[in-house]
Chain A
């Protein structure tokens, strides 16, 4: 098993996680090690094998389109870090 190089800074950006330089360095080594271990899956012959997304696939789970009780406006907002006038407050998106 050999360590795999990974661009942690780029992947962390994709995941929207800001890392400190020390975290980047530590994660780079640890993830390289874990990915090295994961390489062992290349030993397995998977030709002709269907992927499993769920152990017990229930296909096309549908229900009648009926109005059901749901969260109230106040309950949906009650854990908001910033709110005003019944809305979530977010930083400016459009200039």
Chain B
């Protein structure tokens, strides 16, 4: 079954002409037809367009072209612009929007010969931790259909876990790649802020957002990161720093690397099975030659509160553009103010309204210093915690989430409880550092994936990938598949 292959395995077979890109694309399309009725990872996909791209890749292969992504089917979160494909951010407010241009990451993947197909489900405007906030229905976790896949990139994680794509793209503002990767049992990577261009990514919180890959193993994550990274003149926050050959770092040698274990992450709400798996992973790293060092990130407890000021403030500004004038759906009104209010009142879902209003409040006259400015200062302290820790260690190891996947509906009426489920992933975005989640075990009953998070120094993705790869190759968890009928 070609759809079950990793990028590296599939591209090996394509290069040897054992299989065609068309067969690989068709295998993914067949799997979508077979399982996506239950999972709903995709909100739409264009099979004819995917096969046409596959045929173009096959022509390139026949002409002697080669490359790690040539002919590889990759599906996209519905927050990235792909020319002439729909783009909805899983919101009603974008109406029948189709992208007039390619995001930089899409341009790069297309140039590498990848087959860019499908629109993956997500929480509306990437705001949520369960994919229940989508205007296009809820995605189900392939490991247990009554549970959430995580969010906001729930469709991206579920599609990889269910072998509906070889790899996918997502975006991560407070954990939206790592948390669903953990809950669905795949590898998710949030690069350093500035590593990957965000041109063509619909902005949620501009000082936090990054694009990153979901893959079936760590090697694929390295391949994807190498393809996505680099400076882009169209995104002034992208950093002009050389892109390493990330795959070359995967040599298994982690002897002497120092791994920090933050004491603040072993909190009360941590599920005992998650804790046991993370403890076992730490022992495994030790047996592979890494040195474990206890560290302290003293401002950890303030990360969620800081995040929900910074992120909502930025969102309230970024989402001002959805006003029914230049694109998307419009609900008329007697004057422009009424038109804006009607369009936004009816176009946005409850979580997006909640966050825009919160963000507007913390920026409003009389409250700015008390909320927004204070949060930016606490953000400085959170970032300094990490930079101090990285003077002593090469990377930090934590659980990705406090529990395995929760049930659909379990937290949807309590936004604060939902926010607190991101407690381990949020600091990484505030500090701007890279983070990776990979499988480190399963709960017993029901059997649900558990994720291990590795946090690295700014632009320290090579070390993260090297550590993750050494761990993965010495454990069986990434080989397990969900029980789909």
Where the two chains meet, the residues of A that have a C-beta atom closer than 8 Å to any C-beta of B are 6, 8, 11-20, 23, 27, 30-31, 33-35, 37-38, 40-44, 46, 49-56, 58, 61, 63, 71, 75-76, 78-82, 88, 90-93
Could you say which of A19, A53, A75, A79 contacts B328, with CB atoms under 8 Å apart? A79
Known: A31-B357, A88-B325. A17 touches B348 (CB 8 A): yes
Residues on B with C-beta less than 8 A from A92 are 335
Does chain A have a CB within 8 A of B191? no
Check B333 for interface membership: any CB of A closer than 8 A.
yes
Query: Interface of chain A, helix or strand or loop or mixed?
Result: loop
Whether A11 and B380, one on each chain, are in contact in the complex, defined by CB atoms closer than 8 angstroms, is no
Which residues from chain B contact A17 at a C-beta distance below 8 Å?
341, 344-345, 348, 353, 356-357
Q: Is the CB of A41 within 8 A of B342?
A: no
Known: A27-B354, A93-B336. A58 touches B306 (CB 8 A): no
A residues in contact with B284, CB < 8 Å: none
Measured CB to CB, the closest approach of chain A to B350, in angstroms, equals 8
Contact B432 A55 (CB under 8 A): yes
CB distance from A93 to the nearest CB of B (A): 6
Q: Total A-B pairs in contact (CB under 8 Å)?
A: 171
Q: Would you give the 0/1 interface string for B308-345, flagging 1 where the beta carbon is closer than 8 Å to chain A?
A: 11000000100010011111111011111111111011
Give A41 Cβ to nearest chain B Cβ, in Å: 5
Measured in the bound complex, the distance between the Cα atoms of B340 and A81 in whole Å is: 13
- Interface contact B378-A34, CB-CB below 8 Å: no
A81 & B329 in contact (Cβ 8 Å cutoff)? yes
Q: Which residues of B contact A90 (CB under 8 A)?
A: 325, 336, 339
Q: Is there an interface contact between A40 and B207, defined as CB atoms closer than 8 Å?
A: no
CB distance from A35 to the nearest CB of B (A): 8
**Chain B residues, Cβ within 8 Å of A53:** 207, 376
Q: Which of A6, A31, A71 contacts B101 (CB 8 A)?
A: A71
Q: Which of B135-143, B179-187, B266-274, B367-375 contacts A (4 or more CB under 8 A)?
A: B367-375
Residues of B within 8 A of A20 (CB): 345
Selected contact of B233 from candidates A35, A49, A63, A75, CB within 8 Å: A63
Q: How far is the CA of A23 from the CA of B433 in the complex (A)?
A: 37
Give CA–CA (A42, B374) in the complex, Å. Answer: 8
- Cβ-defined contact, A19 with B353, below 8 A: yes
- Enumerate B83-108 residues with CB–CB distance to A below 8 Å: 95-98, 100-101
Residues of A within 8 A of B96 (CB): 79
Known: A18-B342, A41-B374, A91-B333. A52 touches B379 (CB 8 A): yes
**A30 adjacent to B302 (CB under 8 Å):** no
Residue B361 at the A interface, CB < 8 A?
yes
CB of B364 within 8 A of CB of A14, answer yes
Partner of A27, one of B302, B320, B353, B458: B353
Bound-state Cα–Cα, A5 to B67, Å: 58
A67 to B338, CA, bound (A): 38
User: Measured between C-beta atoms, what is the minimum distance from B172 to chain A in Å?
Assistant: 13
Please tell me which one of the listed residues B309, B326, B341, B380 contacts residue A88 in the complex, with CB atoms under 8 A apart: B326
Contact partner, B383, options A18, A55, A58, A63, Cβ 8 Å: A55
Interface mask (B145-183 → A, CB under 8 Å = 1, otherwise 0) = 000000000000000000000000000000000000000
CA distance A33 to B375 in the complex (A): 18
Q: Check B308 against A52 for contact (C-beta < 8 Å).
A: no
Contact flag A15-B194 (CB < 8 Å), given A37-B305, A53-B207? no
- B302 near A55 (CB under 8 angstroms)? no
Please state if A15 and B416 are interface contacts (CB–CB under 8 Å).
no
Whether the Cβ atoms of A40 and B302 lie closer than 8 Å is: yes
Could you say which residues of chain A place their CB within 8 Å of the CB of B345? Answer: 17-20
Contact assessment for B374 and A52 in the assembled complex, using a CB-CB cutoff below 8 Å = no
Greatest chain A CB density within 10 A among B192, B415, B419 is at B415
